[in-house]
A and B are shown apart, each in its own frame.
Chain A
Amino acid sequence: MNVTLTVNGSHHAVDVPADTLLVDLLRTELGLTGTHVGCDTSQCGSCTVIKDGVSVKSCTVLAAQAEGASITTIEGLGSADDLHPMQAAFRECHALQCGFCTPGMIMAAVDLVRSAKANGAALDERSVREGLEGNFCRCTGYHNIVRAVLSAAAQMEATS
């Protein structure tokens, strides 16, 4: 079936089997391998991307459900020369080790900050931990991820 969608600002029309998952469309059809697959059950969150402004686990979204949607993946969030504050904070706070969960974690964290702001809620350690419970990291023990998200949230608040 044909799916048309916008990914990282570029328009794409792809022909894929009807049972294709969004994550496979991104990785296989578009070669955007920054989005990872870590499990079969939508638990680990490595595949998290932003769909129409909201974070989704792209292993649980059919490509067909992304018809007409605007998707942002880690490749579209910021570049090496112009990092998104969340990307910069992850590096500054050593919030990643093997890097495999990192793209999904960053996308989930970006959406966590956005939704907290939309709800007028201030993030603290507890709410960051609860907000990221859908994303596994086996390397960091989450300690530095929490620091990074709080640091980026302050940065995003200051610059918005």
Chain B
Amino acid sequence: MSSQGIGASVRRTEDMRFITGRGRYTDDFNLPRQTHAAFARSPYPHARITGVDTSAAKDVPGVSSVLTGADMAADGLGGLPCGWLVKSKDGSDMKQPPHPPLAAERVNYVGEPYAIVIADTPAAARAGAEAIIADFEELDAVAAVDQAIHAATIHPEAPENRCYLWSLGEEEATNEAIEAAAHVTSLKIVNNRLIPNAIEPRAALANFDASNGEITLYTTSQNPHLARLILAAFVQIAPEHKLRIIAPDVGGGFGSKIFVYSEETAVAWAAKRIGRPVKWTATRSESFLADAHGRDHVTHADLALDADGRFTALRVRTTANMGAYLSTFASSVPTYLYGTLLAGQYKTPNIHVEVEAVFTNTAPVDAYRGAGRPEATYVLERLVETAARELNMDPAELRRKNFIQPEDFPYQTPVALEYDVGDYEASLNKALELIDYKGFPERKKEANARGRKRGIGFSCYIEACGLAPSQLAISLGAGVGLYESGEVRVNPTGSVTVYTGSHSHGQGHETTFAQIVASRLGIPFEDVEIVHGDTGRVEFGLGTYGSRSAAVGGSAIVTATDKVIRKGARIAAHLLDADLDEVDFEDGIYKHRSSNASKTFGEVAFAAYVPADYPNDLEPGLSEKAFYDPNNFTYPAGTHICEVEVDPDTGTVEVVTFVAVDDFGTVINPMIVEGQVHGGLAQGIGQALFEHGIYDDFGQLITGSYMDYCMPRADDLPSFKVDTTVTPCSHNPLGVKGCGEAGAIGATPAVINAITDALGIREIEMPATPERVWRACKTAAEGGQ
């Protein structure tokens, strides 16, 4: 391994601009004649708009225009589509109510925008938005996921507020196995609503160039090409070739910046309409109200075991909150990214899952770090841990007994996926060792002596990453393929510019992808530049989410790089007067096997652009592209173990030790991979202990600021012990599986399993706040539960 090749913890290229304040985020861009936008938003969760009086707003000094939902409708703009069509179990299509970017007739959640105000300054725009006088006729609203079907209908297209009723697996066989089981563990499981909170708020800056009819939109996107496709094909802001989307440095996404939102759409539309650049940057309050939220499931689940403790069946019934509208990928999250993961790491022969997706008067819910997979893991790992306790078995041993074994791969689960490779016991064993499992009883005793209750909790998760084989995804309802593009342009001097459809918003692609290309071409790391996030420079791409960048985007880059190497070999063979099959390429040098004569990669690149002595049947230039379409998902998996101490007097929970052992396949940059795990763990622990997006019974968001929504802070978290095991992915050229979401998937059940172990209780709702923990301690002490 070279110091900068695959497997090296190369320090990041992008860091130099970030640590010196030279990063360029959307809000850092300004254009001549720029205006500023603010949005008027619904104060009601559900209402009919009976009138919007903009006259006072137009009189506010500095305000130049006020555009309403009615204006947008009159311009003939389309609605925001959902990109994944899920079918109900009866074969009917999901209900997809129209989603106008600016509401014109009805508002369906607090914070839904219905007008955009354009002014000379942000303050004037905000004052203008305040001055709009709108009349609303308030309607009955519902926020809670488990009350939606009994509430007032939100969309006439969706009776009982039902979007779909989806199922997967063999229902009858599952029910029979549960009937016949020696033991059944049943739980009601609530997966709390989360608000993503990338620290950079969403922002947009749009410009219409009248000279060529092109709109340029700078925006905080994880997938600018998808945004362009949707805005062109569905919303019809501009034809695709007249729309350029630039997602420059983006300050975190975690899913929330995948989606095409009302505000960015309205800004692009307004810029064309008024003929001046329009800029909008969300306040944090707007982020809370109008970023797509995550999770929000209520589930009833049963795990059946035989007398030996082998899992015989799993039955899952989930109600999933979609919010007021279907966001870009909302429908796929509680179905194909959730139900398909319920086999976990286990050989459960019968699984049946049924998911009812419902509309409520809340912000749309969509993918948030892990997206469906954390919810599945939480259901399964809570059940398994609870079953172990009920059967008085060691939770590690119960899992071990049920693991899919290395010789079982490829393993077809009862819920559609075929796992290619894995070694679950290897991760479990390493994690047990790292946490010193044998020493736990002693540590618990010692904590007891200090008046603290100590508990340990496990989570053995699997995820399906590397989204996704296009034909499979499209057959299941995806509206787009999920391949990725990569282009490797060799410059005449031998340096290389790489264009990727992946997008980095913290993942470090400029480093990792350069490691891949430099090591493959045998050229210095510094000679490789990675370009991403601009539809005007990168031809097409699907962006970054679902831990897909290395597995799919990286594979596209490898494929393009190999094409470059092959073309270079033809040039080298000519220059060396050798047969093509006599030329080897290694460490940046083409070598004639028999004569040992050689040409460097740089010499070959130069010859490609200055083709004086050059093959007659070969085009000049050295630039290749590839679209890589995976033929399966990748399956990262691992074991996370958490130890907590609870203070029964205050209910506070301290995460004392957290061990994560993950199998991500081949690791390109261990430093970056560890960082991804750390961040995911913080979000997973955050869900378990702190974070909760709460609407009151009337649909008002209670947690609308950092005063109310508890973000994990530095002093809330421990340092983590992370390690890896490696079974390389069997079907992509790098052997990589993806690491971005593992922490958020694995951590949450481990924490809750540890708390319930510490208190000797069966269940506690997330987040396990001091109040909830204190009450649980009290109930337990009084002999309850």
Contacts and interface: CB of A to CB of B under 8 A. Distances in A.
A73 B21 contact: yes
Nearest to A88: B19
B15 interface: yes
B19 A83 contact: yes
A141 B682 contact: yes
Nearest to A17: B123
Most B CB contacts (10 A, CB to CB) among A19, A41, A106, A138 go to: A138
Contacts of A43: 705-707, 711
Contact of B678 (A39, A91, A129, A140): A140
A52 interface: no
B723 to A, nearest CB: 14
Contacts of A125: 719
B698 interface: no
Contacts of A97: 252, 506-508, 675-676, 679
A1 interface: no
A106 B19 contact: yes
A22 to B, nearest CB: 16
B720 A92 contact: no
A103 B682 contact: no
B681 A38 contact: no
A97 B678 CA distance: 11
Nearest to B19: A87
B681 A141 contact: yes
Given A79-B20, A133-B714, A141 B706 contact: no
A130 B505 CA distance: 27
B462 interface: no
Contacts of A35: 21
Interface in A134-160: 135-146
Contacts of A129: 714-715, 717
B634 to A, nearest CB: 21
Interface string B491-529: 000000000000001111000000000000000000000
A36 interface: yes
Interface stretch (B163-171, B193-201, B774-782): B193-201
B21 A32 contact: yes
B179 to A, nearest CB: 44
Interface residues of B, number: 59
Given A35-B21, A141-B679, A128 B714 contact: yes
A125 B718 CA distance: 9
A102 B14 CA distance: 12
Nearest to A142: B714
B284 A87 contact: no
A71 interface: no
B20 A80 contact: yes
Contacts of A138: 197-199, 252, 254, 679, 682-683, 711
B748 to A, nearest CB: 14
A41 B705 contact: yes
B508 to A, nearest CB: 7
Contact of A38 (B199, B254, B712): B199
A7 interface: no
B22 interface: yes
A98 B250 contact: yes
B273 interface: no
Interface in B668-697: 671-672, 674-676, 678-683
B18 interface: yes
Given A139-B506, A140-B678, A38 B21 contact: no
Given A39-B706, A135-B714, A136-B713, A94 B675 contact: yes
A24 to B, nearest CB: 9
A74 interface: yes
B476 interface: no
Contact of B706 (A27, A41, A133): A41
B6 to A, nearest CB: 17
Interface string A79-90: 110010001001
Interface string A22-56: 00000100001111111111011010000000000
Contacts of A135: 714
A75 interface: yes
Interface in B437-468: none
A123 to B, nearest CB: 13
Given A35-B21, A91-B16, A99 B506 contact: yes
Contacts of B682: 138, 140-142
Nearest to B705: A41
A140 B507 CA distance: 11
B720 A143 contact: yes
B743 interface: yes
A109 B197 CA distance: 22
A141 B743 contact: yes
Given A33-B21, A140-B675, A98 B284 contact: no
Contacts of A143: 678, 717, 719-720
B429 interface: no
A148 to B, nearest CB: 10
A35 B19 CA distance: 11
A106 B20 CA distance: 10
B18 A96 contact: yes
A97 B681 CA distance: 15
A68 interface: no
A5 interface: no
B197 A74 contact: no
A136 B199 contact: yes
Contacts of A36: 25, 27, 199-200, 251
A102 B715 contact: no
Given A80-B16, A91-B19, A38 B508 contact: no
Contacts of B249: 98-100
A74 B678 contact: no
Most A CB contacts (10 A, CB to CB) among B16, B17, B198, B506 go to: B506
A138 B199 CA distance: 7
Given A138-B198, A138-B254, A34 B707 contact: no
Contact of B679 (A78, A83, A139): A139
A101 interface: yes
A132 interface: yes
B333 to A, nearest CB: 20
B714 A90 contact: no
A7 B128 CA distance: 33
A99 B20 contact: no
B285 interface: yes
Interface string B150-172: 00000000000000000000000
Interface of B: 9, 11-12, 14-25, 27-28, 123, 197-201, 249-252, 254, 281, 283-285, 505-508, 671-672, 674-676, 678-683, 705-707, 711-715, 717, 719-720, 743
10 contacts: A33-B28, A36-B199, A46-B199, A75-B21, A77-B20, A94-B672, A138-B199, A138-B252, A138-B683, A146-B719
Given A91-B15, A94-B672, 10 more contacts: A33-B25, A41-B705, A80-B20, A94-B674, A96-B15, A99-B14, A129-B715, A139-B675, A140-B678, A146-B714
A-B pairs with lowest CB-CB distance, top 5: A34-B21, A100-B251, A99-B18, A141-B682, A98-B506
